[in-house]
Chains A and B, each alone.
Chain A
Amino acid sequence: MTFRMQWLLMPPAIIVAAPCCATVYLTVEQAQAQLMPGHTMTPVAVTLSTAQVAQIEKASGVRVREREVRAWRADSDAMFFVDRVIGKHDFITYALAINAAGAVTGLEILEYRETYGGQVRNPAWRAQFSGKRHGAALKLDADIRNLSGATLSCRHVTDGVKRLLATHAVIAAKR
């Protein structure tokens, strides 16, 4: 196999010319301040048992990929979660606030690294989740509007919220 080595220079040249890099929109602290202003947040160590994973997956219909749950409890008994779902290439990190009654009060995208689909940061799209409780359909083109051109991100964030609401229900029941 012989080869004209100069051909190999073209792909790296394209890469070097390409813009990059990953975008962090909010830190955890900034998201807490936006979603739960004025509240004192206390980290809660949660490691899901096998039985809890099965319970969450059955209730939500969404696979639990990580047993460690990043959660904080507010003095109001509301909870704040930081979670990640799969994007096309990397993870989409988001934060979810759920009040003491089990209803979503806010969703923020913290980190988004995908080529397309960043429209999930749109406030109007995220606002659709407010008031959703465990048991809600949370299905694209049903109770959650899909964003054309961002379908994968919409689907996975929606599934993530559904899974976290089921997780919250399991954790709350345990207390």
Chain B
Amino acid sequence: MRPHSLVPVAVLALVAGTADAGENSFGYSYTSDTLPKGQSEASVSLTHRWDKQLGSYNANDLVLGYETGLTDRLQADIYVVGMDIRSHDAFPLSTEGEEVYPLDIDTRKVAGYKGSLKYNFLSPYKDGIGLAFVWEAAYWRYFPKVDGARTEQYSFEPKLIVQKNFLDDTLIAVYNLATEFERRSFPEDGSSESEVSITHTAGLSYRVAPSWYAGLEARHHMDVLDGVKNHNDFFLGPTLTYGSERWYLSATWLRQLSGSKAYSAYEVDPAVYPTANSRYHLEEDVLNELRVKVGVNF
């Protein structure tokens, strides 16, 4: 049995795949636009995650990003991801097939680094539909999603972005498909594993007034660990964006509506943890996420 710190990081895909949408109409979803050549954007994204079944669990993912247009169609991005986790008797908070026990965690660290290239193939403004691809590579030293435990992970994540605009471009619909290939090792016991993470993200946002967009975002996430389906969950929530000439701010709240049965349901005594058979997946994920993102263009 691994110690609690060896939490599977399948859910890192959520961070790696959606922390920095790079656009300002949504909090989690990418649009197909790229920055024009020579234009740049600096951004700060803060995602507050909270609520397990029991106890107190609060985490913040802080992402500092820099994005720049290499050409009018090719954009390069770099990100630094910081984590801040505080947990007291939170449950469930564990790894698959392993004993579950509540933990007290209080940690803040630089968790990892990411870089990506985004290429725009079609524009929704003149081609009828927007189409872009993102190729993202990441290196992680800690697990920001669960307990901040030590790891060594390398991942590669291609993303497909499809966008369709309606009503004179005032209604924006996007769909993202991200598949992350992860290879990680655990310094504590020298073991390693591979995982594939698949994330579908979709958003619908309407321009309710000049500079203001309001809409909905949804996210479905699934992990396949060493060839076996691991867990999946579905989030939905509102998104609001204010954008101006030089900066934008977006806020998105996602609530988990359903998730696969917790790993811990198989491991724990229901008399001790009566909510173990939750309809949510709360071991690697939480019930609620609130993301606030600010970007400055220059």
Interface residues of A (CB under 8 A from B): 1-4, 7-8, 10-12, 14-15, 17-23, 63, 65, 86, 88-91, 113-116, 140-141, 146, 148-152, 154-156, 159
| Interface pair A152/B210, CB less than 8 Å apart | no
Contact indicator per residue, chain B 4-24, by CB within 8 Å of chain A (1) or not (0): 000000000000000000000
Q: Which of B186-227 contact A (CB under 8 A)?
A: 207, 210-211
| Interface pair A150/B36, CB less than 8 Å apart | yes
Q: Given A10-B44, A150-B36, A151-B125, A15 and B210 touching (CB < 8 A)?
A: no
Task: List 3 tightest A-B contacts by C-beta distance, closest first.
Answer: A149-B36, A148-B72, A11-B294
CB of B185 within 8 Å of the partner chain: no
| Interface pair B298/A155, CB less than 8 Å apart | no
A138 to chain B, nearest CB (A): 13
Binds A, one of B153-161, B238-246, B254-262, B267-275: B238-246
> CA of A65 to CA of B170 in the docked complex: distance in angstroms?
12
| Interface pair A116/B247, CB less than 8 Å apart | no
Q: Which residue of A lies closest to B42 (CB)?
A: A14
A25 to chain B, nearest CB (A): 13
Binds A, one of B54-62, B96-104, B137-145, B175-183: B54-62
| Interface pair A14/B247, CB less than 8 Å apart | yes
| Interface pair B72/A11, CB less than 8 Å apart | no
Count A-B contacts at CB 8 Å: 112
Query: Secondary structure at chain B's binding surface: helix, strand, loop or mixed?
Result: strand
Q: Given A2-B58, A116-B36, A148-B72, A21 and B245 touching (CB < 8 A)?
A: yes
| Interface pair A151/B126, CB less than 8 Å apart | yes
Contact indicator per residue, chain B 259-298, by CB within 8 Å of chain A (1) or not (0): 0000000000000000000000000000010001111111
| Interface pair A4/B84, CB less than 8 Å apart | yes
B156 to chain A, nearest CB (A): 28
> CA of A164 to CA of B86 in the docked complex: distance in angstroms?
59
Which of B73, B123, B244, B288 has the most C-beta atoms of chain A within 10 angstroms of its own C-beta? B244
Q: Given A1-B58, A151-B125, A152-B169, A89 and B244 touching (CB < 8 A)?
A: yes
> CA of A65 to CA of B293 in the docked complex: distance in angstroms?
31
B72 to chain A, nearest CB (A): 4
Interface residues of B (CB under 8 A from A): 35-37, 39, 42, 44, 46, 48, 50-51, 56, 58, 60, 62, 69, 72-73, 84, 86, 123, 125-126, 167-170, 207, 210-211, 243-249, 288, 292-298
> CA of A17 to CA of B50 in the docked complex: distance in angstroms?
30
> CA of A11 to CA of B39 in the docked complex: distance in angstroms?
21
> CA of A91 to CA of B167 in the docked complex: distance in angstroms?
15
Q: Given A4-B84, A90-B210, A20 and B169 touching (CB < 8 A)?
A: no
Enumerate chain A residues within 8 angstroms of B246, measured Cβ to Cβ.
Answer: 18-21, 115
> CA of A152 to CA of B163 in the docked complex: distance in angstroms?
14
> CA of A159 to CA of B125 in the docked complex: distance in angstroms?
11
B125 to chain A, nearest CB (A): 4
Q: Given A113-B245, A140-B126, A19 and B211 touching (CB < 8 A)?
A: no
B33 to chain A, nearest CB (A): 8
Q: Which residue of A lies closest to B244 (CB)?
A: A89
| Interface pair A17/B296, CB less than 8 Å apart | yes
- Would you mind naming 11 contact pairs between A and B with Cβ atoms under 8 Å apart? A14-B42, A19-B298, A20-B246, A21-B245, A63-B168, A86-B169, A89-B245, A90-B245, A115-B243, A148-B72, A159-B168
| Interface pair A89/B211, CB less than 8 Å apart | yes
Enumerate chain B residues within 8 angstroms of A115, measured Cβ to Cβ.
Answer: 39, 243, 245-246, 297
| Interface pair B44/A149, CB less than 8 Å apart | no
| Interface pair B36/A14, CB less than 8 Å apart | no
Enumerate chain B residues within 8 angstroms of A156, measured Cβ to Cβ.
Answer: 168-169
| Interface pair A7/B50, CB less than 8 Å apart | no
Q: Which residue of B lies closest to A112 (CB)?
A: B245
| Interface pair A14/B294, CB less than 8 Å apart | yes
A51 to chain B, nearest CB (A): 22
| Interface pair A14/B296, CB less than 8 Å apart | yes
| Interface pair B249/A15, CB less than 8 Å apart | yes
